[in-house]
């Protein structure tokens, strides 16, 4: 039982970190007043650029896999910044509808990644659109000393991906930046009441650019963390994690701490269908073995129920739960007031 | 009496004045914006092809541009595939008009597809009634699936973007469960399809026009529906109310428009359109099969593209739907030259982006031109003064 809980928690953290990081990115851009539903696209680009870098750089250049992992992160961030820049120019400088330019990026990112994979044969083999991930090489097996702490040591310091520590660091830094620095205060002002902020001498456009660029950095890292630790193959998709991150951000009321808890809750439900395997008693209850004396005409139906119906209902749970909680919490939603609105100096 | 006469004379004079006024030139700029954006998108696509494979780039572009109409078969298939694209484009655009962003068209499409195919495979009816009932089932299922986020938005203020994304996933898993049902699942194709021919949408003999293609009633239905939606939005009270809610929620409430009712209706109509798209997709004689896989279909996102390229104009969507279908068909032939078909989505993305920034660029160019003309005049004046 103890081991099962440890493995399940590790799995939940694995899914939660990319969600937290990406949702924090969304939080920064929305707090500055620019919506960014292109998080999904930016995640794909971050994952793609990071993976290609990690796969193509000769391993002999690096003293350890950790340095290689860092190189992948840097490359991912550069990719994310470029795509965030495309969105920022349209949304801030050109006063375009923010949904439109973000949709363009969401369309462009997977197409470009697939196109380049195919044209430059970056995939596993000629004509394959799948890039091999081989993320297990980045696993940190044991952190000395800390791994000996009971429970915490096993969850946080044994067989973990570096993304766990980066994710936690980003969460802490984000809270500090948003609430304890001049930059954070100004950014929040831009998202709440840009005209007042402008009157107070803040350059709205500059703040908003910075907000969008931060979302580019974080979303691309989120994508990179996701594919290196959660999947074996990358075929230009992050399976909707970018949109889930937006849900997490809204559900977390645009606040770092709430976002972290929401992401954990979401990740716990998201990994439930996999996690059931860690708990034999629960598995037995959910998927009771078919009794030997079952009439043959019922066997097909019972197998259908246990192999198709129940697992898919479990998979549905996080989404149903989100809707239910949103119903209960949406009345007191604290969205930044100017989020998604174009800022025009001359407007009253 | 004289007073009246004088008044009528005045009115008559005003009418004459109005008649004699020079006609205002019609404003074509939205269409021009779209056309320029499309050309620019193709240019970027060409440049990327040039960068990847310079020798074949020109040939590839030619294939991309002509492939969709190279043979009557390809042309027929362009129209065949355009039908669902037009309908999902309408679904997205309709919600846009009410200020709602329906990102859940994919989910509505999948759920409707299952409903359609259940009726197609579990009900036995003679020909016209069978496919009609199957289409109706799809439309109703789509309306219900989109109506749920509509209800949540109207009564609980749940953000419709999140709600429809969640409904996408719930719909996807529901779809998998329903599709594996032994009563409808076709193990030989590992998917479900309509196996009674009475449920297939009629081809109306159009395959004689485009021999070898799959063209059927779908595209005609799509065009008729586009015109109906245009009429609904432009000429009816309901359309006016829906748009009023889209322009300003407090304003429409002040005007006595029932906000909740309109949000729900808008989402339901949007979902019904997505459902119709699914029905004509899966009831075709040679359809895309509905496969139970854990993947959100891309069709809903293509609908966003179709709607944006036409700038949410229902009649424009007929053209943008055909355009995207045309480029996609062209890309299939282009693949023979070694270019990946993903180039279409790159082109589409650039087009959307250009449309997004076109109003800014238009204003910028106009400003530059006015400045130029003004400077020109001033220099002429200066010349006179000297």
From the number of C-beta atoms within 10 Å of its C-beta (0-12, 13-18, 19+), residue B366 rates as: exposed
Weakest-pLDDT range from A74-78, A288-292, B308-312:
A288-292
Whether A271 is covered by a domain: the verdict is no
Interchain contact, A304 vs B180, CB within 8 Å: yes
Supply φ then ψ for residue B108, to 5 degrees.
-60, -40
pLDDT of residue B83: 95
Instruction: Give the mean pLDDT per block of 10 residues along chain B (386 residues).
Output: 72 70 58 87 90 86 87 90 96 93 93 95 89 95 96 90 89 93 86 86 82 88 96 93 88 89 95 96 88 87 90 93 92 84 88 86 79 79 72
Interchain contact, A300 vs B182, CB within 8 Å: yes
Quote the domain boundaries for residue A98.
2-256
Whether A311 is covered by a domain: the verdict is no
User: Which residues of B fall within a CB distance of 8 Å from A309?
Assistant: 177
Which residues are CB-neighbours of B346 under 8 A, at least 6 positions away? A108, A111, A112, A115, B44, B45, B48
Token duo for residue B172 = 């996807």
Number of domains in chain A: 1
Token duo for residue B69 = 């109409």
Token duo for residue B343 = 């180039």
Spatial separation of the C-alpha atoms in residues B163 and B245, rounded to whole Å:
19
pLDDT band at A75 (very low <50, low <70, confident <90, very high): very high
Handedness of CA B227, B233, B239, B245 (dihedral sign): positive
Chain A, 282 to 301: residues with Cβ < 8 Å from chain B are 300-301
pLDDT of residue A279: 82
Spatial separation of the C-alpha atoms in residues A46 and B37, rounded to whole Å:
27
Weakest-pLDDT range from A53-57, A330-334, B142-146, B191-195:
A330-334
Q: Are A165 and A225 within 8 A, CB to CB?
A: no
pLDDT of residue B23: 55
Whether A270 is covered by a domain: the verdict is no
**A333 has a pLDDT exceeding 80:** no
Handedness of CA B28, B33, B36, B41 (dihedral sign): negative
- Do strands A233-234 and A131-132 pair parallel, antiparallel, or not at all (unpaired)? antiparallel
Whether A348 is covered by a domain: the verdict is no
Whether A71 is covered by a domain: the verdict is yes
Distance from CA of A324 to the nearest CA of B (A): 10
Whether A278 is covered by a domain: the verdict is no
Q: Are B178 and B122 within 8 A, CB to CB?
A: no
Residue of A134, A135, A131 whose CA lies nearest to A122: A131
Write out chain B in H/E/C secondary structure: CHHHHHHHHHHHHHHHHHHHCCCCCCCCHHHHHHHHHHHHHHHHHHHHHHHHCCCCHHHHHHHHHHHHHCCHHHHHHHHHHHHHHHHHHHHHHHHHHCCCCCCCHHHHHHHHHHHHHHHHHHCCCCHHHHHHHHHHHHHHHHHHHHHHHHHHHHHHCCCHHHHHHHHHHHHHHHHHHHHCCCCCCECCCCEECCCCHHHCCCCCCHHHHCCCCCCCHHHHHHHHHHHHHHHHHHHCHHHHHHHHHHHCHHHHHHCCCCHHHHHHHHHHHHHHHHHHHHHHHHCCCCCCCECCCCCCCCHHHHHHHHHHHCCCCHHHHHHHHHHHHHHHHHHHHHHHHCCCCCHHHHHHHHHHHHHHHHHHHHHHHHHHHHHHHHHHHHHHHHHHHC
B123 touches chain A (CB under 8 A): no
Whether A223 is covered by a domain: the verdict is yes
Spatial separation of the C-alpha atoms in residues A261 and A278, rounded to whole Å:
23
Token duo for residue B226 = 């586009």
Whether A113 is covered by a domain: the verdict is yes
pLDDT of residue A329: 75
The beta-carbon neighbor of A111 closest among B339, B349, B353 is B349
Chain A, 22 to 61: residues with Cβ < 8 Å from chain B are 37
CA B230, distance to chain mean position in Å, is: 12
User: Which residues of A fall within a CB distance of 8 Å from B101?
Assistant: 99
Looking at every residue in chain A, the average pLDDT score rounds to 87
Token duo for residue A13 = 């953290």
Segment A293-328, tens digit of pLDDT:
778 778 888 888 888 888 899 888 888 988 888 888
Would you tell me how many other CB atoms lie within 10 Å of the CB of residue B60?
27
Spatial separation of the C-alpha atoms in residues A250 and B158, rounded to whole Å:
10
CATH code of the domain covering residue A170 = 1.10.3470
Interchain contact, B348 vs A300, CB within 8 Å: no
Chain A, 74 to 113: residues with Cβ < 8 Å from chain B are 86, 90, 94-97, 99-101, 103-108, 110-112
Q: Is A121 left (phi over 0), alpha (psi -120 to 50) or beta?
A: left
User: Which residues of B fall within a CB distance of 8 Å from A37?
Assistant: 103, 161
pLDDT of residue B21: 63
Segment A100-150, tens digit of pLDDT:
888 899 989 999 999 888 888 777 777 778 888 887 888 888 888 787 888
A246 touches chain B (CB under 8 A): yes
**A251 has a pLDDT exceeding 70:** yes
Interchain contact, A112 vs B158, CB within 8 Å: no
Interchain contact, B169 vs A316, CB within 8 Å: yes
Token duo for residue B75 = 């042309």
């Amino acid at each position: 039982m103890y081991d099962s809980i440890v493995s399940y928690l590790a799995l939940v953290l694995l899914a939660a970190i990319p969600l937290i990081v990406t949702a924090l990115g969304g939080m920064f851009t929305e707090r500055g007043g620019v919506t960014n539903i292109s998080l999904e696209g930016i995640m794909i680009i971050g994952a793609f650029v990071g993976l290609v870098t990690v796969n193509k750089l000769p391993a002999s250049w690096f003293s350890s896999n950790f340095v290689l992992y860092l190189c992948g992160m840097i490359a991912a961030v550069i990719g994310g910044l470029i795509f965030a820049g495309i969105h920022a120019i349209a949304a801030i400088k050109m006063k375009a509808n923010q949904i439109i330019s973000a949709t363009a990026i969401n369309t462009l990112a997977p197409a470009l990644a697939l196109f380049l994979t195919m044209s430059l044969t970056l995939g596993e083999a000629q004509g394959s659109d799948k890039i091999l991930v081989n993320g297990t090489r980045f696993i940190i097996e044991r952190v000395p000393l800390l791994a000996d702490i009971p429970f915490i040591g096993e969850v946080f310091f044994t067989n973990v991906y570096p993304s766990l520590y980066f994710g936690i660091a980003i969460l802490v830094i984000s809270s500090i930046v948003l609430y304890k620095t001049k930059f954070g205060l100004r950014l929040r002002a831009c998202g709440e009441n840009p005209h007042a902020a402008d009157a107070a001498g803040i350059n709205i456009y500059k703040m908003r650019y910075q907000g969008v660029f931060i979302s580019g950095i974080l979303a691309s890292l989120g994508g990179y963390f996701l594919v290196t630790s959660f999947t074996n193959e990358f075929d230009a998709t992050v399976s909707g994690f970018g949109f889930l991150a937006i849900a997490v951000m809204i559900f977390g009321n645009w606040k770092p701490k709430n976002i972290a808890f929401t992401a954990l809750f979401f990740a716990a439900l998201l990994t439930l269908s996999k996690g059931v395997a860690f708990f034999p008693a629960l598995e037995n209850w959910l998927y009771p073995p078919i009794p030997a004396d079952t009439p043959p005409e019922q066997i097909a139906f019972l197998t259908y129920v246990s192999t198709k119906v129940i697992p898919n209902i479990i998979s549905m749970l996080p989404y149903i739960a989100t809707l239910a909680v949103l119903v209960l919490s949406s009345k007191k939603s604290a969205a930044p007031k100017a989020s998604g609105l174009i800022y025009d100096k001359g407007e009253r | 009496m004289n007073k009246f006469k004088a008044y009528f004379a005045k009115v008559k004079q005003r009418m004459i004045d109005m008649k004699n006024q020079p006609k205002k030139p019609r404003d074509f700029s939205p269409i021009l914006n779209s056309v320029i954006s499309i050309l620019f998108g193709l240019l970027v696509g060409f440049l990327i092809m040039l960068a990847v494979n310079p020798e074949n780039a020109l040939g590839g572009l030619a294939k991309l541009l002509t492939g969709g109409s190279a043979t009557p078969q390809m042309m027929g298939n362009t129209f065949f595939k355009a039908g669902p694209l037009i309908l999902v484009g309408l679904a997205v655009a309709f919600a846009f008009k009410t200020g709602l962003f329906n990102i859940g068209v994919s989910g509505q499409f999948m759920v409707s597809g299952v409903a359609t195919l259940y009726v197609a495979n579990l009900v036995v009816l003679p020909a016209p009634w069978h496919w009609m009932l199957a289409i109706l089932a799809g439309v109703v299922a789509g309306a219900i699936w989109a109506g749920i986020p509509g209800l949540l938005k109207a009564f609980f203020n749940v953000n419709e973007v999140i709600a429809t994304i969640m409904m996408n996933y719930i719909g996807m898993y529901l779809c998998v469960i329903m599709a594996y049902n032994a009563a409808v699942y076709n193990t030989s194709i590992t998917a479900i399809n309509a196996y009674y021919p009475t449920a297939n949408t009629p081809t109306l003999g159009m395959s004689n026009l485009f021999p070898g293609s799959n063209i059927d009633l779908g595209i005609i239905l799509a065009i008729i529906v586009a015109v109906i939606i245009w009429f609904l939005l432009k000429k009816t009270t309901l359309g006016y109310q829906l748009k009023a809610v889209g322009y300003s929620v407090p304003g429409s409430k002040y005007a006595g428009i029932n906000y909740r009712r309109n949000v729900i209706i808008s989402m339901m109509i949007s979902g019904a359109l997505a459902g119709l798209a699914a029905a004509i997709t899966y009831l075709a004689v040679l359809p895309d099969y509905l496969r139970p896989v854990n993947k959100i279909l891309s069709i809903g996102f293509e609908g966003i593209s179709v709607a944006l390229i036409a700038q949410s104009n229902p009649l424009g969507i007929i053209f943008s739907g055909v355009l995207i279908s045309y480029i996609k068909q062209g890309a299939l032939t282009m693949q023979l030259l070694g270019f990946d078909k993903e180039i279409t989505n790159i082109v589409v993305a650039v087009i959307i982006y250009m449309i997004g920034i076109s109003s800014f660029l238009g204003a910028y160019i106009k400003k530059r031109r006015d400045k130029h003309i003004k400077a020109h005049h001033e220099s002429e004046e200066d010349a006179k003064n000297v």
